[in-house]
Amino acid sequence: MKILILGVNGFIGSHITHRILNTTDWEVYGMDLGTSKVTEYLGHPRFHFSQGDITISREWIELHVKKCDVILPLVAIATPATYVKNPLRVFELDFEENLKVIRHCVKYKKRIVFPSTSEVYGMCPDDEFDEDKSPLVTGPIAMDRWIYSTSKQLLDRIIWAYGWQQNLRFTLFRPFNFMGPKLDSLHAAKEGSSRLVTQFIWNLINGEPLKLVDGGSQRRCFIDVDDAMNGLMMILENKDHKADGQIFNIGNPQNDYSVKEIAEKLRSIWADHPKRKELNVPLSQIEISSSGDFYGKGYQDVLTRTPSINKIQQTFGFKPTIGIDESLKKSLEHFLLEYATMGRDVDN
Ligand code: UDP
């Protein structure tokens, strides 16, 4: 099988490439702006990489949609700090550019495996978010945060409609706070535009305070990226075509923690870490910050976000097993290595 991965150098792209190259005989065709997360695969005989910008490399993309069997378009801005800072960039990249790829898949009759997002459920009141039943609840227009959620929601609806009106073969998957090595980068965290775990790790390594937005009682279910890749592989393999025309949450409802609990856990792992003593970094304090101070205007939070994973469990036997402590430790070790090379590696 030939798979086209746009945004192959991202968090999900690099991990799924690793899994594909190590466990299948598939050919991976990938495009990205940089190579920092896929350097180790560049010489692999089944990894065909092209460095480029999907907003410019239109012909390459069309040619490769035509050539490949499955299309995994992962290019998107997925960091809340950017939703409020530059909502139009989110719309132009996440919505407009991906719509073009979707239309190529319709034209050339290719299967698309599209990343929807847990963010589409927004402030859904359900205890567990169900792919086929839960309402999708967003906030007022002045709350720019929701531009990502609504862009993705509309793409979900467009793909769905292409499915029944024009026979597009598709699967939508919804990541619930995937975490692990390569989630964002320390460069992003340095600018304060990273997601929670990477942001806190950067703060700890630099002895800066960990900031709990609006008190940190908001909760997320975190899934280790290795567990998450098991789920995504099941969808890509698509045994008996059971993923066709379906939406699947990928998450771990067991790893349900508040932001404050994550801060405390990471801080205590770092407190006893030999590297902290080596770097001679003071142990960070935990502080409370208002969302207005932290993100600026246009931010509204999601207070709980728990996936139902019954569907992927019953369809493919998906069962995440990695606990939060192991996943946090793994992430910290990765970012310590990245920290040691910072300054030399500038393409991300
Ligand atoms: N958050 C925080 N401090 C930080 C970064 C994030 O309190 O330094 C909070 C943020 O307000 C949100 C949660 O952590 O409630 C998760 O944020 P993330 O950026 O990882 O993405 P989300 O899960 O909201 O998509």
- Nearest Cα residue to atom 22 of ligand 1: 80
pLDDT computed for residue 347 by the predictor: 47
Percent of the chain clearing pLDDT 90 (strictly above):
97
Question: Is there a domain that residue 264 lies in?
Answer: no
| Pocket mutation for ligand 1, best pick of 84, 174, 196 (most atoms within 8 Å of C-beta) | 196
* Residue of the CA atom closest to atom 12 of ligand 1: 301
In a domain, 152, yes or no: yes
Q: Which residues of 296-334 are buried (b: 16+ CB within 10 A; e: fewer)?
A: eebbbebebbbbbbebbeebbebebebebeebbebbbeb
Q: Whose CA is nearest to atom 19 of ligand 1?
A: 195
- Residue whose CA is closest, atom 21 of ligand 1? 195
Which residue CA neighbors atom 11 of ligand 1 most closely? 213
Closest atom of ligand 1 to CA, residue 295: 11
What six digits make up the tokens of 20? 């594909």
SS3 of residue 48 by DSSP = strand
131 found inside a domain: yes
| pLDDT value at residue 193 | 85
Burial 24-57 (b: 16+ CB within 10 A, else e): eebbbbbbbeebbbbeebeeeeebebeeeebeeb
CA 280-283-286 angle, to 5 degrees, is: 155
Model confidence, pTM: 0.97
Q: Which atom of ligand 1 is nearest to the CA of 199?
A: 8
pLDDT tens for the chain, residues 1 to 348: 999 999 999 999 999 999 999 999 999 999 999 999 999 999 999 999 999 999 999 999 999 999 999 999 999 999 999 999 999 999 999 999 999 999 999 999 999 999 999 999 999 999 999 999 999 999 999 999 999 999 999 999 999 999 999 999 999 999 999 999 999 999 999 998 899 999 999 999 999 999 999 999 999 999 999 999 999 999 999 999 999 999 999 999 999 999 999 999 999 999 999 999 999 999 999 999 999 999 999 999 999 999 999 999 999 999 999 999 999 999 999 999 999 988 654 444
* CA atoms in the 13 A half-sphere facing the CB of 87: 17
Handedness of CA 93, 96, 98, 101 (dihedral sign): negative
Q: Which residue among 148, 213, 295 has the greatest number of ligand 1 atoms within 8 angstroms of its CB, and so is best to mutate?
A: 213
Asked if residue 24 belongs to a domain, the reply is yes
- The answer as to whether 210 is a domain residue is no
What's the CA-to-centroid distance between 196 and ligand 1, angstroms?
A: 5
**Which CATH number does the domain housing residue 92 bear?**
3.40.50.720
Residue 289 belongs to a domain: no
Taking each helix axis from N to C terminus, what angle separates 11-23 and 225-237, rounded to the nearest 10 degrees?
A: 60
Cα(292) to ligand 1 centroid in Å equals 13
List of residues 6+ apart from 340 with CB closer than 8 A: none
114 occurs within a structural domain: yes
Which atom of ligand 1 sits closest to the CA of residue 177?
Answer: 23
State the residue range of the domain holding 152. Answer: 2-178+224-252+306-320
Tell the residue nearest (CA) to atom 16 of ligand 1: 196
Ligand 1 pocket (Cβ < 6 Å) reads 80, 119, 177, 195-196, 199, 211-213, 216, 218, 220, 259, 301-302
What is the per-residue burial (b if ≥16 Cβ within 10 Å, else e) of 130-140? bbeebebebbe
Instruction: Please tell me whether residue 259 adopts helix, strand or coil conformation.
Output: helix
Number of domains in the chain: 1
Amino acid in the structure at residue 64 = H
Indicate whether 146 belongs to any domain. yes
Helix pair 259-271, 196-205: axis angle to 10 deg: 30
96 Cα–ligand 1 center, Å: 26
